[in-house]
Amino acid sequence: MKDLSRITGYGCIVAGVGPAGMGFLFNALKTGQITTLARHGLLILDAGGTHASGKLGAGRLGEYRITANSVGDVFLDCLRDPALADVLAPLEGEPCLERIRADPYSSPRLDEIGELLEAASALVLAHITALPGVEMWCGTSLDTLQYLDGTSILTLSHEPEVAQRTSRLRTENLVLNLGGQQCPEQLTQSLNRQGLTPSRRARIYSGDELLRMPLGQLRSLLLPRLRRGGRVCVVGGSHSAFSMLDVLADALRNTRVKEITLLHRSPIRLFFENAEEARAAGYHYDAERDVCPISGRINRSGGLRYRALAIGQEILATGRIEECAMNIQLVQTGPGSAQRLELASEVLADAPIVVQCNGYQPILPTISDAHHQPITLREVNGGLDSDANGNPCDIHGQRLAGLYMFGLGAGLAVDPTLGSEASFDGRIYGVWQFHNHASLPALHAIIARNASDDALGSDTAHSVGQVIASDRGMASVSGSGMTSDKTSANSVVSEKASAESLAQASEAEDFSSALKVLSDSLGLQQKSRMA
Ligand SMILES: Cc1cc2nc3c(=O)[nH]c(=O)nc-3n(C[C@H](O)[C@H](O)[C@H](O)COP(=O)(O)OP(=O)(O)OC[C@H]3O[C@@H](n4cnc5c(N)ncnc54)[C@H](O)[C@@H]3O)c2cc1C
């Protein structure tokens, strides 16, 4: 057996505190489970949060120069729990909160949401990191992960100012949400599967990057590529694709670009609160497949909402975004009566600019097994093939217990008890979900695994928690007010026995009854409202 005893251990490590990782921590605080996590040793780490890289809590969300796909009240709801009231009290009167409160039923700009999430996260992190047993490392990147039958060995790199920290850690519970990325190969492969290829002169741009650019910069980036003519082609069919059309039409208005083409696989789906609203808007939907049986909403999970909905409706009705005098050509590439593959092929042949808006892959550390062989996680439409806890599986179908992923690029399957439309086969993610259903099963599973460690008499978690707790006096808060950074707790567990009981604990996988007892005792009722 590998000797893990000299590697610093934690009961739980939360890697990445963007909206997904923070949602987990908010949930831990709301349910009172944060103290249990702390008792077993909790480390929160993020590559950002330094003076140079800025505040934590909003991840990339606040950087997108578009409006949200939900109303402001959905974000306010994440902060509304009575258990958060004292911690969040200093937010009262802050402009970032009051602006959203003033107009809670319109969809705010994402930079406004980012500001609110950062301010709320700062308070929650300050509260949590003051608890005995909790550490927070900013400026620390998770680079590699070796997965040993339920235990993760992490290799980290640190910003120079905190370079003295240890670079190897282990944990049985890794909440891993480092955000998402768009790989151009993924777009090319997806087009190839439909018999399509971008032209050789095409440059593939990540929609994610373009959505974060000021309009002037976007214009100067794209216009030179159109010097010799050709089309601008966006690939995708959901919220970010329509937000991209909106932004591009604005950036390229009054230039030689008069038309943008959207290649989309499935029909464009619009969200409506109910059948009457859809009918009033003249929207045709499939009464069997597009209606959520629980809420009666149309295209509840996959439909365009708010600004993207308005843009989508205008384009479907007129083929234009009138405000920018920009024609928008829609070309469906997926099977069905509207499929126009030949036209799609011509468009791509004539497009020096192809913008990728067809989803995300999760950002991952390099993952390997006990023999240092790479582990590849199995993907499904829209994210990872994970279970309700967010435990992903490898390409052989082996579940990776103790890894919890539900953020951008990973997502979770629709929970049938909460409802969705049958036609939606993607993954669900969003801030409200992170703060509620998406992170709760992971939290339950971690608490149950910790309880199982206790029951098995493992002294690992206790000794880690105790050593960290005894180090509490060493906490220091950096100038940003965000980076509560305890001097590295010397939580090396020295006895080999600890490592052995750790390995045993990781083999105890039947937590379902423990989970049930836990949920019952918490009295948690899943709210059925969905953002
Ligand atoms: C264009 C767009 C619009 C969206 N609009 C909405 C919306 O309106 N409403 C909504 O609810 N959701 C929206 N979402 C979905 C989702 O809420 C956001 O994408 C959100 O930012 C995802 O959070 P995350 O924590 O998974 O990732 P991120 O926001 O990317 O955060 C990742 C965190 O991990 C850290 N990190 C990265 N790499 C490392 C590493 N190696 N080591 C340590 N830390 C690391 C980063 O510093 C960051 O703090 C939108 C998504 C997109 C793409």
Query: Given this chain, do its domains 8-55+118-180+362-522 and 184-268+304-358 carry the same CATH topology?
Result: yes
> What tokens does 190 get?
């997806």
- 320: phi then psi, degrees, rounded to nearest 5: -145, 160
284 CA to centre of own chain: 31
Secondary structure element (H or E) that encloses residue 171, with its range = strand 168-171
pTM of the full predicted structure? 0.87
Atom of ligand 1 nearest to the CA of 17: 49
List Cβ neighbours of 357 (8 Å cut-off, separation of 6 or more): 207, 234, 235, 236, 238, 240, 241, 244
Atom of ligand 1 nearest to the CA of 141: 42
Within 13 Å of residue 335, how many CA atoms lie on the same side as its CB? 1
191 residue type, one letter: L
Q: What is the atom index within ligand 1 of the atom nearest the CA of 409?
A: 26
Going by CA atoms, what residue is nearest to atom 38 of ligand 1? 178
**From 61, 156, 165, mutation site for ligand 1 pocket: most ligand atoms within 8 A of C-beta:** 61
184-268+304-358 adopts what CATH topology? FAD/NAD(P)-binding domain (3.50.50)
Q: Which atom of ligand 1 is nearest to the CA of 178?
A: 34
Q: What pLDDT is recorded for position 139?
A: 96
- Going residue by residue through the chain (531 aa), what tens digit of pLDDT does each one get? 566 667 899 999 999 999 999 999 999 999 999 999 999 999 999 999 988 888 999 999 999 999 999 999 999 999 999 999 999 999 999 999 999 999 999 999 999 999 999 999 999 999 999 999 999 999 999 999 999 989 999 999 999 989 999 999 999 999 999 999 999 999 999 999 999 999 999 999 999 999 999 999 999 999 999 999 999 999 999 999 999 999 999 999 999 999 999 999 999 999 999 999 999 999 999 999 999 999 999 999 999 999 999 999 999 999 999 999 999 999 999 988 888 999 999 999 999 999 999 999 999 999 999 999 999 999 999 999 999 999 999 999 999 999 999 999 999 999 888 889 999 999 999 999 999 999 999 999 999 999 887 777 654 443 333 333 333 222 222 223 233 333 333 232 222 233 333 333 333 323 333 333 333 333 333 343 333
Q: Distance, CA 439 to ligand 1 centroid (Å)?
A: 14
- Which residues sit opposite 153 in a β-bridge? 146, 170
484 and 136 Cβ atoms separated by less than 8 Å: yes
Ligand 1 centre from 244 Cα, in Å?
Answer: 17
Closest ligand 1 atom to Cα of 408: 26
CATH fourth-level superfamily of 8-55+118-180+362-522: FAD/NAD(P)-binding domain (3.50.50.60)
The pLDDT of residue 1 is 56
Buried-exposed string 405-426: b where 16+ CB fall within 10 A, e elsewhere: bbbbbbbbbbbeebbbbebbeb
> What's the pLDDT score for residue 493?
28
- Residue of minimum CA distance from atom 17 in ligand 1: 430
pLDDT score recorded for residue 452:
83
CA of 400 to the centre of ligand 1 (A): 22
Contact yes or no for 170/204 (Cβ under 8 A): no
Cα–Cα dist 227/221, whole Å = 12
For residue 143, give the ligand 1 atom closest to its CA.
41
Predicted local confidence at residue 519, as pLDDT: 38
Domain ranges of the chain: 8-55+118-180+362-522, 184-268+304-358
The set of protein residues with a Cβ atom below 6 angstroms from ligand 1 is 15-21, 45-48, 56, 59-61, 64, 68-70, 110, 141-142, 177-179, 208, 211, 240, 363, 407-408, 429-432, 531
Question: Atom of ligand 1 at shortest distance to CA of 68?
Answer: 8
Report the pLDDT value the prediction gives residue 4, as an integer from 0 to 100.
67
Alpha-carbon distance of 296 to 311, in angstroms, equals: 23
Task: Note the pLDDT of residue 2.
Answer: 60
Taking the centre of ligand 1 as the mean of its atom positions, its distance from the CA of residue 124, in whole angstroms, is 18
Cα of 344 to ligand 1 centre, how many Å? Answer: 31
Best probe residue, ligand 1, of 26, 27, 55, 60 (max atoms within 8 Å of C-beta): 60
Output the CA 60–ligand 1 centroid distance in Å.
5
List alpha helices for 399-474, DSSP H.
431-435, 440-455, 460-470
pLDDT at 415: 86
- What tokens were used for 324? 């920018």
